[in-house]
Amino acid sequence: MGNTCTGCRRTGREQGLPQGSAGSVGGTPSWRWQRLEVWSKLSKQTWELTGSEPLTILPLTLEPEAVAQAHYKACDRLKLERKQRRMCRRDPGVAETLVEAVSMSALECQYQFRFERWNCTLEGRYRASLLKRGFKETAFLYAISSAGLTHALAKACSAGRMERCTCDEAPDLENREAWQWGGCGDNLKYSSKFVKEFLGRRSSKDLRARVDFHNNLVGVKVIKAGVETTCKCHGVSGSCTVRTCWRQLAPFHEVGKRLKHKYETALKVGSTTNEATGEAGAISAPRGRAAGAGGGDPLPRTPELVHLDDSPSFCVAGRFSPGTAGRRCHREKNCESICCGRGHNTQSRVVTRPCQCQVRWCCYVECRQCTQREEVYTCKG
């Protein structure tokens, strides 16, 4: 194997970098997954995800046409429920933030599950079937999407893209003689309140809705748990006489990692499910765990994800996934698991990738194009 330079090219502002993202979202069972064509586009890129992708993939910026009404049209295109559409219309920045949150959540879901049998592929009938059931995967989708919206909205506030919110307010803290509150913190207080209202209150009758809302709240709580106070020193010759501090959210990849761990340790709550419709009939807390106070709440009071049904194997094509036949895998890492014991094929091919990249002043990256022979492993059918 070896690398061969076959030419050089420039990337960056001279060629135009992708800006932002766009997509379609919709209503049942929530705004996130009804009309999300971006999932099918992203699924083809799953193998290429590295964890350093931009959080948005398509242009987000709305055309300046009739700005006073543009965001109304944008909200209408998102196929939201009535209450959600009303909340969207209150602020011109909401529609753009919703689209960004969906793209961000989609990328992170596929990154976290890139080595799993279920690789977060939600195309057509698979998406609809999956969301009718209470699998661990469904719980993760609700949590990652609510976390994505909370994160994106808090960032949009501090970036000045929203009209109804701005930077995080200075908290009432003690022992602040050596530092002052400043900068522009991410407004988690506003975003978490908005998300809870936007995604709906907990229903006392619809048990499945209660499970979904619980998992929504888990996503918001993970965002809150990752907030850090960031400070910058001021003083003569590098001394830290005064510090300016602000609150900052953790990178969204860290949020995805924590939610993936919660997925792996998710709690199953008892249910009676109609196999034909996928509707949950009753829920009870797992053994050894207390129900709500007074025994009136069948859901356990826990910061963990909860699910109703055991997940399918996702090995063969069915209602919930296209199966793993033809999926790429790492021979030493996960071929045995992903291929479900069916074995894998090996193919040798030549690929061309950018290499030996260098940043040039100003504003572009110069790369060589190198060819390399590699072996590709795919699951047998």
Range of the domain at 377: 328-381
Domain co-membership, 125 together with 82: yes
Which structure tokens are listed for 61?
A: 């910026």
In the structure, what pLDDT confidence band is assigned to residue 196 with cuts at 50, 70 and 90? very high
Mean pLDDT score of the chain? 76
Q: Is the pLDDT of residue 280 over 60?
A: no
* Within-domain flag for 250: yes
Same domain, 307 and 374: no
pLDDT digits (tens, 9 = 90+) for 21-40: 333 333 334 455 443 444 44
Does this model's pTM top 0.85? My answer is no
Q: What is the pLDDT of residue 66?
A: 54
40 lies in some domain: yes
The residue with greater pLDDT, 206 or 130, is 130
CB 58 within 8 A of CB 93: no
Among 323, 338, 373, identify where a domain stops: 323
For the stretch 146-164, pLDDT in tens is: 999 999 999 999 989 999 9
Domain total of the chain: 2
DSSP state of 201: P
CB distance 324 to 117 below 8 Å: yes
Confirm whether 85 is domain-assigned.
yes
pLDDT at 165 exceeding the cut of 50:
yes
User: Cβ atoms within 10 A of the Cβ of 375, count?
Assistant: 10
The whole-number pLDDT of residue 183 equals 63
Among 53-67, 173-187, 297-311, the range scoring the smallest mean pLDDT is 53-67
Q: Which residues pair with 82 in a beta bridge?
A: none
**Does residue 353 share a domain with residue 235?**
no
* Token output for 289: 């765990």
Q: Which of 41-55, 133-147, 289-303 is the least confident region?
A: 41-55
pLDDT for position 171: 59
Same domain, residue pair 314 and 347: no
- CA atoms of 248 and 257, how far apart (whole Å): 18
Whether 318 is covered by a domain: the verdict is: yes
Q: CA–CA separation, 200 vs 193, rounded Å?
A: 11
The answer to whether residue 291 sits within a structural domain is no
317 and 355 both lie in a single domain: no
Question: In this structure, what CATH number is given to the domain that contains residue 341?
Answer: 3.30.2460.20
My answer on whether omega of the bond before 300 falls inside 30° of 0, hence cis, is no
Closest CA to 26 of 96, 102, 90, 93: 102
Residues of the chain above pLDDT 90, percent: 44
Alpha-carbon distance of 126 to 120, in angstroms, equals 10
315 and 362 share one domain: no
Q: Are residues 35 and 160 in the same domain?
A: yes
Helices (H), the chain: 38-43, 67-77, 82-89, 94-112, 124-131, 136-158, 188-198, 207-225, 252-264, 335-338
Does the pLDDT at position 8 exceed 70? no
Judge whether 147 lies within some domain: yes
**Count of helix runs (H) and strand runs (E) in the chain:** 10, 11
**What does the pLDDT average to over 211-220?**
94
d(CA 209, CA 202): 7
Mean pLDDT (whole number) for 184-196: 91
Q: How far is CA 195 from CA 88, 217, 237, 249, 330, in A?
A: 11, 9, 44, 16, 38
Of residues 126 and 223, more confidently modeled: 223
Amino acid, res. 105: S
Regarding whether 57 and 40 lie in a shared domain, the answer is yes
Paired tokens of 264: 């792996």
Cβ–Cβ under 8 Å, residues 283 and 269: yes
Torsion-angle region of 175 (φ positive above 0: left; ψ -120 to 50: alpha; else: beta): left
Predicted pLDDT of residue 202 = 60
* Same-domain status, 191 and 123: yes
Instruction: Report yes or no on 32 lying in a domain.
Output: yes
Distances from the Cα of 298 to the Cα of 287, 290, 309, angstroms: 12, 9, 16
My answer on whether 315 and 334 are in the same domain is no
Same domain assignment for residues 220 and 357: no
Same domain membership, residue 347 and residue 221 = no
Torsion region of 283: left, alpha or beta (phi above 0 gives left; psi -120 to 50 gives alpha): beta
Banded pLDDT at 360 (limits 50, 70, 90) = confident
Q: Which two tokens stand for residue 170?
A: 């200075």
Whether 114 is covered by a domain: the verdict is yes
- Cα-only R_g, the chain: 23
Task: Please report the pLDDT score of residue 93 as a whole number.
Answer: 92
